[in-house]
Amino acid sequence: MTAEQVRITVFDTTLRDGEQSPGCSMNHQEKLRLAHQLDRLGADVIEAGFPIASDGDFEAVKAIAGVIRRPVIAGLARACRPDIERAWEALKDAARPRIHVFLATSDIHLQYKLRITRDQCLAQARDAVRFAKSLCDDVEFSPEDATRTDCDFLCKVLEAVVEAGATTLNIPDTVGFTIPSEFGELISTIRRRVKGIENVTISAHCHNDLGMAVANTMAAIAAGARQVECTINGIGERAGNAALEEIVMAMRVRRDRYPYETGIVGEQLFCASQMLSEITGVPVQPNKAVTGRNAFAHEAGIHQDGVLKNPLTYEIMTPQSVGVPDSKLVLGKHSGRHALNIRCEQLGYQFDRRALDDIYRRFVRLADKIKHVEDHHLLELIRETHKPAASATPLFESMPTAVAAAASVSAQESQRFPLVPQPNAFGLPLPVPTDQHHDQEDYLWGV
């Protein structure tokens, strides 16, 4: 198999680890709705919940297992019989069920949380995986807090669970403690030292406490991990999990360094992000990579000018490739004439150079006072600056009175100053069909 054909399994845990983050709990219907979106997105594995945790979680996992048939549906269980039985009860009708067993292996967890010895831990892990395997062919094992576990002991536990029938070994950086070079080395060591490792999939599960979850995941892939565990918008315990959309787009944009394939449909990323935010009521941070509202917005004049000439100047991926319909030029104090001119055109006005200069001066003064100049501000400014002036050439016919009223412009004014077209779903006016020619000099102002 060539490097081009290596496929990374995307394991989405938004409904389990993600749901554990404060303010992100979802009810049964909401989980089902999101599970359908994760299916459309192309996730290979959906971890639907932790069935022993509550009756609600059990029912949600069961319902998802019953209706979502393409991806593997996983349910989490501690390394003990009641958990594993409950998980299997919820999963057994799935087309492709997986039991995900976990047990902490670091001395800190063994001593203070579980109060068991390393030998007891080893035996418990082996027995739990053997029992899970007696119910389900597909068994994943996670040594919780792997990155703070003694490496020799970690390899010993992993070898034991492979022998007991585990098909995926997930290596969690439970507390977001590791760094990329170290995590890559850990994956390499596991590949070198664990007997039988060639027959199982190695997985990475990274938390973001130091802001390195995605970087650590990428290092794990480079070192041989072939499954990544992640969540939409990076939600999850504390600082969250590795963000699915960032991992996938890193592989797509930097294919030269990460020549791997996933089954993710990029065009569904934005929709998944928005749906999760809408369901949980937790907004996506504006500067969130890939799916934040500013991810494709450009305010600085030099940037706006570049993007208008060729988006490649400041965009490393197209908004469309992640499902965002268009990039958005934010008009603020750093904006240049080029962007202002385009927005005026979008609003239905064409100005000659002198008129645009005039508007631009007023625009800069306004932008200094208010952060973002919205379309209605701009319309007002245009009206004030150019009370029916010969230099302003409207591009549109007058809109109906109701629309004029909605834009709080009098009927009389609307005759003289034609109003804007209806905005699209993202608040941007529809593109202006124009065959007006701009000479090179006009565009030089933008910088």
- Site residues (vs ligand KIV, CB under 6 A): 17, 102, 142, 144, 170, 172, 174, 205, 207
Considering the complex, state which of residue 17 and residue 44 has its C-beta at the smaller distance from ligand KIV. Answer: 17
State the nearest-atom distance from the C-beta of 237 to Zn ion, in Å: 6
Phi, psi at residue 197, to the nearest 5°? Answer: -60, -30
State the nearest-atom distance from the C-beta of 37 to ligand KIV, in Å: 22
Considering the complex, state which of residue 207 and residue 288 has its C-beta at the smaller distance from ligand KIV. Answer: 207
Contacts with Zn ion by CB under 5 A lie at 17
Cα distance between residue 56 and residue 161, in whole Å: 30
State the nearest-atom distance from the C-beta of 94 to Zn ion, in Å: 22
Cα distance between residue 265 and residue 273, in whole Å: 13
144 binds, among ligand KIV, Zn ion, none (CB under 5 to 8 A by kind): ligand KIV
Considering the complex, state which of residue 239 and residue 300 has its C-beta at the smaller distance from ligand KIV. Answer: 239
49: left (phi over 0), alpha (psi -120 to 50) or beta: left
State the nearest-atom distance from the C-beta of 217 to ligand KIV, in Å: 13
274 binds, among Zn ion, ligand KIV, none (CB under 5 to 8 A by kind): none
| Residue 227 one-letter amino acid | Q
Considering the complex, state which of residue 52 and residue 330 has its C-beta at the smaller distance from ligand KIV. Answer: 52
Residue of 363, 311, 315, 376 whose CA lies nearest to 337: 363
State the nearest-atom distance from the C-beta of 75 to Zn ion, in Å: 15
Considering the complex, state which of residue 17 and residue 19 has its C-beta at the smaller distance from Zn ion. Answer: 17
State the nearest-atom distance from the C-beta of 229 to Zn ion, in Å: 7
Residue of 413, 440, 436, 423 whose CA lies nearest to 345: 436
385 binds, among Zn ion, ligand KIV, none (CB under 5 to 8 A by kind): none
State the nearest-atom distance from the C-beta of 21 to ligand KIV, in Å: 12
Considering the complex, state which of residue 20 and residue 189 has its C-beta at the smaller distance from ligand KIV. Answer: 20
Cα distance between residue 132 and residue 138, in whole Å: 9
168 binds, among ligand KIV, Zn ion, none (CB under 5 to 8 A by kind): none
For tokens 């119910």, what's the residue?
135
Considering the complex, state which of residue 207 and residue 288 has its C-beta at the smaller distance from Zn ion. Answer: 207
86 binds, among ligand KIV, Zn ion, none (CB under 5 to 8 A by kind): none
142 binds, among ligand KIV, Zn ion, none (CB under 5 to 8 A by kind): ligand KIV
